[in-house]
Amino acid sequence: DIQMTQSPSSLSASVGDRVTITCRASQSISIYLNWYQQKPGKAPNLLIYAASSLQSGVPSRFSGSGSGTDFTLTISSLQPEDFAAYYCQQSYSTPRTFGQGTKVEIK
Amino acid sequence: QVQLVQSGAEVMKPGASVKVSCKASGYTFTDCYIHWVRQAPGQGLEWMGRINPNSGGTNYAQKFQGRVTMTRDTSINTAYMELSRLRSDDTVVYYCAREEGSSGYFDFWGQGTLVTVSS
């Protein structure tokens, strides 16, 4: 199985900050890496697919980069509605594995 | 518009089985895999398996092999996930999600179904 390791597991930031979350795969997954946002009590919501493609309707302050084993999700200017948990997921092979999540909290 | 609507919350006894449904609408049901993902309170996302609604073929996570069965009924555009021999640590929210074909991401999710296992 491909292991996905996210860091940090949590972070505190202020509105307007630039935030970066990283995700590392235990083997190369090309660009088969997706990012989801989850708010309390809600289902996850797709933000970025294929490492860097922005899902329709997602604000442009979200961006993704990387290939192979190392990936990054960046929020260019954190907004109040962005305080949530973020998960990476590989879709290179089954089992589809998720990172352990990053909780973005208000500083 | 694409929607996945799941069945309601369940309370089950240890050792029992639970069957959660996921009704799809707004697209051709047989065109996209349905995955099942679960989440314990305050914890991360755990992939359980997937079903190909066209063929009925399944792939399960090793952890759930022998305890999970995923099926579908194409006449009513519904996928099912049945988990047997329930334990207290199966008290989690279960989600179904649609896999987009080319890159494998999950573009639509059900609202989640809370299953509580308690004696």
Give the tens place of pLDDT for each residue, A39-96. Answer: 999 999 999 999 999 999 999 999 999 999 999 999 999 999 999 999 999 999 999 9
CA A43 – CA B36 distance, rounded (Å): 12
What pLDDT score was predicted for residue A90?
98
What pLDDT score was predicted for residue B101?
77
- pLDDT surpasses 90 at B102: no
Q: Dump the DSSP string for B54-66.
A: TT--EEE-GGGTT
A97 touches chain B (CB under 8 A): yes
What pLDDT score was predicted for residue A8?
97
Strand B10-12 to strand B113-117: parallel, antiparallel, or no bridges (unpaired)?
parallel
Residue partners of B35: CB distance under 8 A and separation at least 6: A96, B47, B48, B49, B50, B96, B97, B98, B99, B106
Are A98 and B44 in contact (CB < 8 Å)? yes
Taking contacts as CB-CB distances below 8 angstroms, the residues of chain B near A4 are none
Which residue has 């194409």 as its token pair? B74
Taking contacts as CB-CB distances below 8 angstroms, the residues of chain B near A50 are 103, 105
Strand B78-83 to strand B58-60: parallel, antiparallel, or no bridges (unpaired)?
unpaired
Are A10 and A105 contacting, i.e. CB atoms less than 8 angstroms apart? Answer: yes
Are B62 and A95 in contact (CB < 8 Å)? yes
Mutation target for B interface from A33, A96, A102: give the one with most B CBs within 10 A: A96
For residue A4, list its beta bridge partners: A25
- pLDDT surpasses 80 at B17: yes
Does residue A79 come out as left (phi exceeding 0), alpha (psi in the -120 to 50 range) or beta? Answer: beta
Are A87 and B46 in contact (CB < 8 Å)? no
Which residue has 């996850």 as its token pair? A44
Cβ neighbours around B16 below 10 Å, total: 13
Largest CA distance in chain A: 38
Are B95 and A101 in contact (CB < 8 Å)? no
| Identity of the residue numbered B39 | Q
What pLDDT score was predicted for residue A106?
87
Q: What is the mean pLDDT of chain B?
A: 97
